[in-house]
Amino acid sequence: MSNTDNPYAEGCAWIDDGYVPIGEARIPLIDTGFTRSDLTHDVVAVWKGKFFRLEDHLERFESGWTLLRMNPPHDKDDIRKILIECVRRAQLQDAYVQMIMTRGVPLPGVRDPRMLQNRFYAFAIPYIWIFQPDQQEIGCHLVISTQTIRIPAKAVNPTIKNFHWGDLVRGLFEAYDRGGQTVLLEDGDGMVTEGPGFNVFACHDGVVRTPREGVLLGITRRTAIELATEQGIQVQEESFRSEVLRSSDEVFLTSTAGGIMPVTIIDGQPVGDGKPGPITLRLRDRYWLAHDEKRWTTVVE
Amino acid sequence: MSNTDNPYAEGCAWIDDGYVPIGEARIPLIDTGFTRSDLTHDVVAVWKGKFFRLEDHLERFESGWTLLRMNPPHDKDDIRKILIECVRRAQLQDAYVQMIMTRGVPLPGVRDPRMLQNRFYAFAIPYIWIFQPDQQEIGCHLVISTQTIRIPAKAVNPTIKNFHWGDLVRGLFEAYDRGGQTVLLEDGDGMVTEGPGFNVFACHDGVVRTPREGVLLGITRRTAIELATEQGIQVQEESFRSEVLRSSDEVFLTSTAGGIMPVTIIDGQPVGDGKPGPITLRLRDRYWLAHDEKRWTTVVE
């Protein structure tokens, strides 16, 4: 079958117990996953025909829906099969695969979230880069927001991966206004948190730091920590202020959508010598090599 | 046409430039209104065939999408017509009417919110009560959360009406666990904010207080303030702690979904004498009478 004959070529979704082309994938307007953003989700990558750390993503997803007290219509084994089938139908070698569990559609007049049947959606589309590989050669321009703080963990638990992006999108517009490409938010105490879809790392004299509180515990974040440790690089998970980033030798971002991505400018000022640094590049190389390692991969077919 | 013959009897939605029965109303899975909760919305009531303060709701909605820097596919005049037509088709005398403006559906690989075509959705369904009239006769049991704070305004602007309900739903589960019916959240400094879909008012020695910061400036909140002022009742918009609520003579909630609703128990303890109080009942009567006043109503047909 040629790609143009494949109705799923632009992506394949799972909706209401069936597969549909991504362009036709729709959810009920009154699903409280939409009208209350009452949901959890996860994003896993497929690279060269293999899922990367699928089991870790499934585990986090399950932990999220459990903390939200949901009773999903599918278990992890079902979900694994559905995700694989979405990628298979779309015939994607490199894919961005998202799974979403929502509270569900209320019966008329019902506002009690305990009364709803939870719903599962999923889709696979071509791999998405927060920063394309050619942009990563130069490094990206990060703005640290002065107007918007990250939603605190005491309001919304950031370790339950969610779609509460109002703060992140607001920050993104500020970053664009200030000539940047993406944004990093601080918490209410001025501590560095995260940005739209990524964690952040700072390297100082060979030591790598990343925040642990008030952020999603990203799987790419975890991978960067594990790969660094394997390479004998010291990693510290701890809170720090944005001054630490500004005075770093190297700064990088981690995300399933783009991997390990160098930051070379912060608020218009170069980071270190203004070029992607050696630790960042070493970890980035190791990161992509790891996508072929048995310990972390699941073959699609 | 009898109600059973009307395909819109359970509600009518506007999706993609057409009207559909609410049960068939669906939005794209990858609309960033869903996957980023990047949207604003508003809810207006129809009572006995008349919209209540439709122009005020439309104005707030427009203010929200402007602050989010959206370029809507419809202006206020179009939207007014669509909302009226949704109610007309559903043949509803008493309706809950919601309008939603989302950032829209990204083109493949695009993450920049400025590149998207914003989308408009709307629907009318039978009127929804946070607390039914018979429950309002007794008054409701409010729990003040000890575990979850409201998302701060510096993270997400609460005056742009939004679907970031993760904190509110989390609080609701806590309220249920503690035997309550709904929840009120404090901010990070211990000041009272709001609950899932409502503002809160406290009455002390004939003076009415309601928070002004960190909350949605609800239209029902505004109506309660205006009606109280007309009745010669003093109203103060100011921050206060939950102790003020606990020691109040009367407490009530305001929402388009239920009007002015007495709270008679807070955290298991009676408010005042444990019955809906005279100021609350007076304002509630005035509130429903106002739904027939020319200054605030728009006839559906």
Contact A142/A131 with Cβ under 8 angstroms?
no
Q: Which pLDDT score is estimated for B209?
A: 98
Among residues A256, A108, A266, the alpha carbon closest in space to that of A202 is found at: A266
Going by the DSSP 8-state scheme, the letter that residue B290 receives in this structure is G
- Put simply, the chain A residues between 36 and 75 with a CB less than 8 A from any chain B CB are 36-38, 69
Work out whether strand B140-149 and strand B182-186 pair parallel, antiparallel, or are unpaired: parallel
**Are A152 and B157 inside 8 Å of each other by CB?**
no
Q: Residue A53 region, left (φ>0) first, then alpha (ψ -120 to 50), else beta?
A: left
- Put simply, the chain A residues between 131 and 170 with a CB less than 8 A from any chain B CB are 147-152, 154-157, 162-170
Give the mean pLDDT of A208-212: 98
- For A111-167, the pLDDT digits (tens) are 899 999 999 999 999 999 999 999 999 999 999 999 999 999 999 999 999 999 999
Residue ranges of domains in chain B: 3-126, 133-292
Q: Which pLDDT score is estimated for A2?
A: 54
Provide the pLDDT confidence category of residue A248 given band limits of 50, 70 and 90: very high
**Nearest residue in chain A measured CA to CA from B105:** A23
Q: Which chain B residues contact residue A28 at CB under 8 A?
A: 25-26
Distance between CA atoms of B255 and B42, rounded to whole angstroms?
12
Q: Which pLDDT score is estimated for B2?
A: 54
Give the mean pLDDT of A174-188: 98
Q: Which pLDDT score is estimated for A286?
A: 98
**Nearest residue in chain A measured CA to CA from B68:** A170
H helices of chain A, in order, are 32-35, 54-67, 76-90, 133-138, 166-177, 219-230, 242-246, 278-290
Take residue B270 and report the two structure tokens written for it: 């009676």
Provide the pLDDT confidence category of residue A301 given band limits of 50, 70 and 90: confident
**Are A157 and B170 inside 8 Å of each other by CB?**
yes
So what's the ipTM on this one? Answer: 0.97
Q: How far is CA A102 from CA A10, A116, B104, B219, B284, in A?
A: 24, 10, 20, 29, 35
Establish how many alpha carbons lie within 13 A of residue A43's alpha carbon, considering only the half-sphere containing its beta carbon.
22
Q: Does B123 touch chain A (CB under 8 A)?
A: yes
Are domains A3-126 and A133-290 of this chain identical in fold?
no
CATH T-level fold of A3-126: D-amino Acid Aminotransferase; Chain A, domain 1 (3.30.470)
Q: Residue A205 region, left (φ>0) first, then alpha (ψ -120 to 50), else beta?
A: left
Taking domain A133-290, whether its CATH number is 3.20.10.10 is answered by: yes
Give the mean pLDDT of A10-24: 97
- Alpha-carbon B283 to chain mean position: 18
Q: Which pLDDT score is estimated for A109?
A: 84
Q: Does A176 touch chain B (CB under 8 A)?
A: yes
Q: Which chain A residues contact residue B163 at CB under 8 A?
A: 34-37
Low pLDDT (below 50) residues in chain B = none
**Are A150 and B149 inside 8 Å of each other by CB?**
no
**Nearest residue in chain A measured CA to CA from B23:** A28
Work out whether strand B207-210 and strand B234-237 pair parallel, antiparallel, or are unpaired: parallel
Q: Which pLDDT score is estimated for B133?
A: 97
Contact B260/B224 with Cβ under 8 angstroms?
yes
Class of domain B133-292: alpha beta
- Alpha-carbon A248 to chain mean position: 24
